[in-house]
Amino acid sequence: MKKALSLFLSAAMLLSVLAACSPQPGTGHTSPPSGAPGSDQPAQSSAPADLEGEITFWHSFTQGARLETIQAAADQFMADNPGVKINIETFSWADFYTKWTTGLSTGNVPDMSSALSTQVVEMIDAGAILPVDSLVDDIGRDQFYQNAITEMTAEDGSCYGVPLYSNTEALWYRTDLLEKYDLAVPTTWEELYEAAKVITDGENGNAFGLAMPMGTNDMMATLWLHLYVRSAGETLLTEDGRANLTSKTVIDGINYWLKVYNECSPQDSIHYNASDEATLFYQGKLAFDFNTGFQISGVEANAPELLDKLDCAAIPRVNGGDPETGCLTTNIPVVIWKNSKHPEICAAFIKYLYDPARYVDFLLSVPVGMMPALKGVTENETYQSNEIVQNFQHANEVLYQMLGGSTSIGMEYGPKAEAGLLTSQRVIENMFQDIIINGTDVETAAAEAEAKLNELFETVG
């Protein structure tokens, strides 16, 4: 009897472990009649006086100031519309992805949410969100930067996300370390390597020139390889949605980052993610880093003593004569979910966020970090008078220069579901680790990674 009981209990425990991995059944993809919640009807913004109902807004603006600004906007909106209740729930980007992908099958998704542009493609692919063309027109389609709108536009020509802000990558550096070693700001990849090497050798373990992050918990190696490849005018995802890891430029890029890893990076950076990379910079142990304008708020919060030693430059080029172009911009939109019972409230609240004063307040909750999705906002007096904006005028100029013409990774030829897989499957991170740990030949590892990505791409579309 005891044995049977023990067996039963252990089997139950094993099953409970399995249960954690079990998908929950459910439809979540029903098609209610047009106009009803869950229909394909485009979201319309209506007069605030008509609004009544409760909505849930998931967003990933987790930093204090941004969170407070959004909450204040929601509170004001509810005060202006007494029949409306907005429930705000905040998740990190990683948690948000898990929440909506798992929630979709059970219908447990919000009414509206923030998103990453690569996720918008997946959401469109899953039929989970509503087109927002009328809302975009209402706010002023011409006012938005075209690239951001293009990234939210599906093959059917409908726009599925309202761009809220953008951020673009630049080369951040410590001015004091460059001065200490009498180095100029690098403009080419080779100059960057040489400067990083001088600093790494000179600091003898106290600081490093660069830290090539290759951790499989993040997409940083993909991002850094993309920067090199994009600066040479190529892309990791071709126009016909195939992976490109074997062209001469990409092989050069892989070899370049391996050289940087071997000679200018801490060995531990093989498992670094974005947070590890940032921590090293805040510790004052890194001379160069690639990041968006969020670098400023990160340094301000974690290492304010470094704030006046911080500046940024354009992404390096392969050859000195090549034009300085932006290589990577992430556009963050707000989307309205098809399951929403009140898309009209969502649309009205989104429009409310773009009220000029409110929008500038939101952007200034992370000054320079969040770049406006609307043209002309930077000329706003309040925006211009912000202390960080004033202190980082050069960085701001560089970032705007980088913004022009650049897109999210894999979106160079328009929105593609493959772009999400390119960054989320860690194939490139594993390729780098395989070369370093197992000594696999670069060309072989690149060909294997390319084949693996192309196999994965067959699961979408």
Positions that interact with another protein (CB under 8 A): 2-3, 6-7, 10-19, 21-25, 27-29, 98, 101-102, 104-105, 122, 125-128, 205, 208, 214-217, 266-271, 273, 276, 280, 283, 285, 424-426, 429-430, 433-434, 436-438, 456, 459
CA-CA distance, 100 to 91, in Å (whole number)?
11
Q: Which of residues 88 and 460 has its CB atom nearest to another protein in the complex?
A: 460
Length of the chain: 461
Q: Which of residues 82 and 439 has its CB atom nearest to another protein in the complex?
A: 439
Q: How far is the CB of 126 from another protein (least distance, A)?
A: 4
Query: How far is residue 442 from each of residues 208, 263, 352, 389, measured CA to CA in Å?
Result: 25, 17, 52, 43
Q: Which of residues 3 and 248 has its CB atom nearest to another protein in the complex?
A: 3
Q: How far is the CB of 41 from another protein (least distance, A)?
A: 19
Q: Which of residues 32 and 127 has its CB atom nearest to another protein in the complex?
A: 127
Q: How far is the CB of 218 from another protein (least distance, A)?
A: 8
Q: How far is the CB of 306 from another protein (least distance, A)?
A: 15
Q: How far is the CB of 381 from another protein (least distance, A)?
A: 43
Q: Which residues of 46-85 are buried (b: 16+ CB within 10 A; e: fewer)?
A: eebeebebebbbbbbbebebbbebbeebbeebeeebeebe
Q: DSSP secondary-structure letter at 374?
A: B
Q: 3-class DSSP state for residue 173?
A: strand
Q: How far is the CB of 159 from another protein (least distance, A)?
A: 21
Q: What is the DSSP string of 202-268?
A: HHTTS-BS------TTS-HHHHHHHHHHHHTT--SB-TTS-B--SSHHHHHHHHHHHHHHHHHS-GG
Q: 3-class DSSP state for residue 177?
A: helix
CA-CA distance, 371 to 35, in Å (whole number)?
35
Q: How far is the CB of 18 from another protein (least distance, A)?
A: 5
Q: Which of residues 126 and 442 has its CB atom nearest to another protein in the complex?
A: 126
Q: Which of residues 65 and 442 has its CB atom nearest to another protein in the complex?
A: 442
Phi, then psi, of 164 in degrees rounded to 5: -100, -45
Q: How far is the CB of 410 from another protein (least distance, A)?
A: 16
Q: Which of residues 103 and 293 has its CB atom nearest to another protein in the complex?
A: 103
Q: How far is the CB of 102 from another protein (least distance, A)?
A: 7
Q: Which of residues 285 and 358 has its CB atom nearest to another protein in the complex?
A: 285
Residue where the block lists tokens 């990849």 = 189
Residue where the block lists tokens 């439809």 = 27
CA-CA distance, 28 to 139, in Å (whole number)?
31
Q: Which of residues 34 and 438 has its CB atom nearest to another protein in the complex?
A: 438
Ordered strands of the 329-336 beta sheet: 84-90, 53-59, 112-114, 329-336, 162-168, 371-372
